[in-house]
Amino acid sequence: MDEKRPNELVLGPFEGEHTEHTRIPFGRGICGQAAQLERTFLVQDISKEKNYLSCSTNVKSEIVVPIFKNKKVIGELDIDSHVLSPFTEQDEAFLKKVSEMVSRII
């Protein structure tokens, strides 16, 4: 998040291929939708999404979990996969717990 632009995500530390999407307005793409709607997005097949921002042609699926502080989105965990439908309910529950832990230390 950018304090000067509170409705914009700013790419922070990440591992992966280079991306031009380093600033994403709330509502744009899966990450922007997750931030705007304040909910987790689990997309098993990104080719079926109209509002997907492609960071790599290899990405087939994605899960985005918002990180909250004082009931406000302050960041996200965004995990892409090169495989269709890899994410389970257990993955989602685990990442939500990680998000909660991160929010306590930020």
Tell me: the pLDDT tens digits for 28-67?
999 999 999 999 999 999 999 988 888 788 999 999 999 9
Q: Which residue's entry shows tokens 């042609």? A: 57
Looking at residue 41, what DSSP letter applies?
E
- Name the pTM for this structure: 0.89
Q: How far apart are CA 29 and CA 48, in angstroms?
A: 13
| Rounded distance between C-alpha atoms, residue 95 and residue 64, angstroms | 9
For the chain, the structural domain boundaries read 8-105
| CATH of the domain spanning 8-105, picked from 3.90.245.10, 3.30.450.40, 3.40.50.970, 3.30.420.40 | 3.30.450.40
Q: What is the pLDDT of residues 67-85, one digit of tens each?
A: 999 999 999 999 999 999 9
Geometric angle at alpha carbon 1, from 63 and 52, rounded to 5°? 35
**68 vs 88: CA distance, rounded Å:** 22
